[in-house]
Structure 1
Amino acid sequence: MVSLFILFSLFYKRSYSKKNKEPKRCESSKDIDQCHKAMSEISTAAKEAAGHAAKDAGKVLKSASKVVKKSAVGSTM
């Protein structure tokens, strides 16, 4: 049991005590292609969401202007 503890402590010391370890950077062409693909999908989704929001805002504005026109016509009677 003690030997397992010693082995684990050595493993832990080697694996997790390196505080100055540089993060691994993925610069391969496959990683870059995946990044470009993901960013393209995100921008496409954002563009579609903005288009739907603009369409909905146009509908709200149109219905609001109809209400204002009806209330203006009704108040003059």
Structure 2
Amino acid sequence: NCAYMWMEHSLSPKVQGDVSAWFGSLPVVPAACKGNELLGDEGCKTNGYDNFEKIRFWKTPVSKCATQDQCVPYYRWVSDYIG
């Protein structure tokens, strides 16, 4: 199947390392962090590989929250931000 062949190709360490070097991102496959000519030996470290535990996902604003006294619902936040 063509889709599976593409996935297998795109997830190879060589391709992941090259794409990560091009975009300044991290590879999906950790094996790509070693031995990639474009990414280099320090590429993953430079792009934040060791900071994975510090990632915090964004939460959609809500109208009622326990940590603040003035919260704004998402629709209001978006309209005020754009306006």
- In the superposition, the TM-score normalised over structure 1's length comes to 0.24
Which structure has the larger Rg over C-alpha atoms? 1
Specify which structure has the higher proportion of helix: 1
What TM-score results when the alignment is normalised by the length of structure 2?
0.22
Higher relative contact order (CA 8 A, sep 6+): 2
